[in-house]
Amino acid sequence: MRIIVDAFGGDNAPREILLGCAQAVEALGVDITLAGDEKKLAACAKELDVENSFSKMEVLDCQDVLSMEDEPSSILKERSGCSMAVGMKALAEGRGDAFASAGNSGALTVGATMLVKRMKGVKRVAFAPVLPTAKTPFMVCDGGANVACRADMLMQFGLMGSVYMEKVMKVKSPRVGLVNVGTEAHKGDELRQEAYGLLKNCPGLNFIGNIEPRDIPYGACDVAVADGFTGNTVLKLYEGTALAMMGMVKDIFQKNMKNKLAAAMIYGDLQGLKKTMDYNSYGGAPILGASKPVFKMHGNAKARAVLSALGLVRDCTQSGYVEAITQALGK
Amino acid sequence: MRIIVDAFGGDNAPREILLGCAQAVEALGVDITLAGDEKKLAACAKELDVENSFSKMEVLDCQDVLSMEDEPSSILKERSGCSMAVGMKALAEGRGDAFASAGNSGALTVGATMLVKRMKGVKRVAFAPVLPTAKTPFMVCDGGANVACRADMLMQFGLMGSVYMEKVMKVKSPRVGLVNVGTEAHKGDELRQEAYGLLKNCPGLNFIGNIEPRDIPYGACDVAVADGFTGNTVLKLYEGTALAMMGMVKDIFQKNMKNKLAAAMIYGDLQGLKKTMDYNSYGGAPILGASKPVFKMHGNAKARAVLSALGLVRDCTQSGYVEAITQALGK
């Protein structure tokens, strides 16, 4: 399997991306193609002392880089020669099996839609991160690719998310819930009411109805279906609140010697909690609905996170989730 | 000051409502009028041994009760004789200074709009709970009264919330933020883009721009402006995540003897954290935009929470926030 990686996407590119890829090429049994400035990458590989691993990778040489400030649609125009665009075009041409980038999410969505192209019948691609809870992880779909949605898009988000959770996360008959202001069928705005009906009547979907956001942290569903605005709110508030709470607990433990001693006594368990709630643990998130595997890595990913993300990309791609979604949509 | 209380609203009515009112009448220096079945209330007072306090209260005798399952609009029709409706009509007629209910939120919103009536110029009333963070508390406005909103409503939510936070919570020049998927001015859907412009140009408002949900738990703003769907998602996910995290920490501390010992060492600090993050601590939430003070108490409020809510109702009403909002809207 060959993974094409945007070597110049993200806060720590190209250094940490290259380092992560160097580890992946040795440890994961995958081939890597880097999209980016070959000269700079070679110099960086020398500096990082990973020239041997670098020599095993292919490079799609290109000088331009799309920044976080660039308009998403610029990937089709002014920035059509950037590392992200070049990598995605190579994926579309079959020069690799999957694509991953830690760069501009909006541009990645546009590229997945217009360069890699959507699967037949898919109305919109969705950003679909999987987040941890104390019990079972859950996927937010859409986590922010589409700020405005129609009901039929929400139904597809539920279907695509369900297939992914089953194929990749090995969840049997994933519980699909619609994020809403109440559990009763008539709750919410027109969008929610219409989506409820479509999800309920969607064959092969284990739709458990509306879910209230307060139940999500307790593992109330496997797939939380939402428009991109709501999904992004869920994603970011969940991460922020969990982090803030961890910070408050940490502050207590560092308050004085007595508290530090107490912290030492339960150090292992606290680390376990931290690990459980580490929203980076799944490394990356798929752009569902693209006709080939496209993944978003965290913007601030360091080598370790890149390695972990590429492991996920490999496993996901091997799972055949793209084909499974295509099949499910065709029904 | 006289507070009219819906004696039959909420999960624990009338028992806990009556008990809380009995404590309030003795401890808060307020007069209480109860709306509800007088015979049942008298029997309940006898059972609870608060007959003396009960004798100091007025009662608006009515037999009907609006349940959580009733349609919100039924307060104007089939349920127009229920305790909530009767209490609100009495408020509108000047037979009290404020109204509080732990009952059906939707019906309370309809009643605040149609029975108590909106202030002149207010487009929609908003449910505006104040939530704690490790640093400063923040208000969500609207927290769920209007699932669909226009941009001019969002601007008014910001303005009303700002006045409330200044008058009642004593925050100087409250920081008003628009909940959005990114901080840049052009982010979000049409509603957000339009609301951004209106909020930015609203005189006397300290608009700090878009805020991302991940920053809210760190006290990034004093007023989080949102449509009711998004605001309700913020409210419920924040509460749910904080509670789930507290539960996970608690589980660690109860795991074994060693951990229990560690917990005992930092017991006081843990209680402090629990108290800080107790979203019941503010007791109730105002329905902003009503022409007289209307408050929602928690649906599962017990006597203690009712007492605390009535203290808030008293302080809020004394602060003159309704008049201040009227004045601010007139500018």
- In tens, the pLDDT along B259-288 reads 999 999 998 988 888 888 776 666 789 999
Range scoring the smallest mean pLDDT among A112-116, A254-258, B8-12, B195-199: A254-258
Determine the pLDDT at residue A134.
85
B217·A237 Cβ contact <8 A: yes
Burial class, A50, CB count within 10 angstroms (exposed 0-12 / middle 13-18 / buried 19+): buried
In three-state secondary structure terms, B56 is coil
Upstream peptide bond of B14 is cis (omega within 30 degrees of 0): yes
The CA–CA distances, whole Å, from B187 to A147, A188, A328, B140, B184 equal 9, 24, 33, 20, 6
Share the mean pLDDT of chain A: 95
Q: Please give the average per-residue pLDDT across A85-95, as a whole number.
A: 98
Kindly provide the ipTM of the predicted complex, given to two decimals.
Answer: 0.92
CA of A198: how far to CAs of A152, A155, B145, in Å?
7, 6, 26
pLDDT(A193) > 90: yes
Q: How far is A232 from chain B (nearest CA, A)?
A: 6
pTM of the entire predicted model: 0.93
Rounded-to-integer distance, Cα A5 and Cα A101, Å? 6
Q: Which residue has the tokens 């992560």?
A: A20
Query: Rounded CA gap, A151 and A190, in Å?
Result: 9
Q: How far apart are CA B319 and CA B299, in angstroms?
A: 25
Q: How many residues are given for chain B?
A: 331
- % of chain A with per-residue pLDDT over 90: 86
Selected residue with higher pLDDT from B33 and B204 = B33
- Give me the DSSP letters along A245-313: HHHHHHHHHTSSHHHHHHHHHTHHHHHHHHHHT-TTTT-EEEEETBSS-EEEEPTT--HHHHHHHHHHH
Minimum mean pLDDT among A158-162, A233-237, A262-266, B318-322: which range? A262-266
C-alpha distance from residue B128 to each of A90, A269, B142, B179, B301 (Å): 51, 38, 6, 14, 17
Q: Of A148, A154, A142, A103, which Cα lies nearest the Cα of B193?
A: A148
Structure tokens at B175: 């920081």
How many CB atoms sit inside 10 A of residue A208's CB?
17
| A259/B270 CB distance under 8 A | no
HSE on the CB side for B162, CA within 13 Å? 26
Q: CA-CA distance, B140 to A221, in Å (whole number)?
A: 25
Residues 6+ positions from B275 with CB-CB distance below 8 Å: B281
Per-window interface: A 225-244 vs B, CB < 8 A: 228-230, 232-234, 236-244
Supply the pLDDT for residue B279.
Answer: 65
CB < 8 Å from A in window 187-206 of B = 188-190, 192
Say whether A230 and B233 touch across the interface (CB within 8 A).
Answer: yes
With CA atoms as reference, report the closest residue to A83 among A195, A187, A6, A183.
A6
Q: What whole-number distance in Å separates Cα of residue A124 and Cα of residue A193?
A: 20
- Cβ contacts below 8 Å, chain A against chain B, sum to 156
